[in-house]
Chain A
Amino acid sequence: MTLPESPTRPAPLVRLLLSGLLAAVLLTLVTGLAYPLLTTAVAGILFPSQAGGSLSTRNGQVIGSAVLGQNFTSPKYLHGRPSMTAKTDGSGPEPYNAENSGASNWGPTNVKLAEAVRERVAAVRRENGLSAGTPVPVDLVTASGSGLDPDITLAGALLQVQRIARARGLSPAQVEGVIRAHITPRQLGILGEPRVNVLAVNLALDSMP
């Protein structure tokens, strides 16, 4: 591969292979080990909670992560979005499995999507005492992309007020107050969408006298 127009003589192929191997080892050490390990150390000092997964504890016990959703089915809790995550060994559904994120990946005309939405609409109406034909906010009847969506829309949250109030023996105004106090606005006033963090609302509900 000597090329006459090059002023310096290029290295023969064997030397090139050796340089390539050394580059692979060196770059693995620098970008694959030094960089992440150094950042781990710095992040652990600056933001220890977030670096560890933003874990929330109650009475000394880890109850979840503030940025991840978890499964709620009891009528006294605010319910999150449908989740399509599977058990870690893949043997069946396990909503909000935080070590195996997953989505339906159903296309818009797939009968499985239509049937799942039909069932979820019926369930939301039944649980919340809504009449047939009441439109249900789309986020409550469609599965999220991660299967771990921590949020629902304000529409989806307010629809559940009556049920939660009844189950907890609170007034609807009290429950609505808790929900409205936990609205996450658009970030910097512009980015994303206003939303309600389900776990935060439920923790607040549990801590009410």
Chain B
Amino acid sequence: MIPLLELRDINYAYAGRAPVLRGVSMQLTPSERLVISGHNGAGKSTLLRLIVGLLHPTQGTIHAFGAKRTEEKDFYEVRRRAGFVFQDPDDQLFCPTVAEDIAFGPLNLGKTRTQVEKITQDILSSLDLLHLKDRITYKLSGGEKRLISLACVLAMEPDVLLLDEPTNALDERNEARLIEILLSLPQAMVIISHDAAFRTTLATRTQHLHEGVLKPEDSKAEV
């Protein structure tokens, strides 16, 4: 099977600092849910940012959706097909109202207003969030913001979801809700999470990022 994402020997260092990633290799195949753990500052978020081309590796290659991606414009398609859910929903929800935020992505993709209206309606009703449609984003609760930021990404109909600490600052009820939603989605996912319970429920495969290298979770004991 052709992997959706394939990273080979990725190295990355922030300017003036020691490298965070030293030869990371990773594959993601369809309908897989890969959960990546690792201590703070291990470079987990950096890894996701590299995948969508917000950062560019100092060494190594990124293949996504069957093509090699190197330049900024190569990543336009990657960003459309790999939906990135940011760690802080406040970074992601910038539009005044929920409906506008969900519409932002599809409108950028050139969809018409009628199509977008339908997408918004469909996404929100499938997540059972239709009551939030006309709410103002800054007035949503933390849990609502998280679910809406997921809805915004789903509205672009991605093939892959990249989730950065999705359970961050969620209470138990909202976390259970999020797990339920994620389990029901067909997309392949790369999820970054510290939450052990969350990992065991969702992951089809887990990896651990340690000292700049990605290793299967079970080999953690050897490290």
Partners in one complex: no
A contacts, CB < 8 Å to B: none
B residues near A, CB below 8 A? none
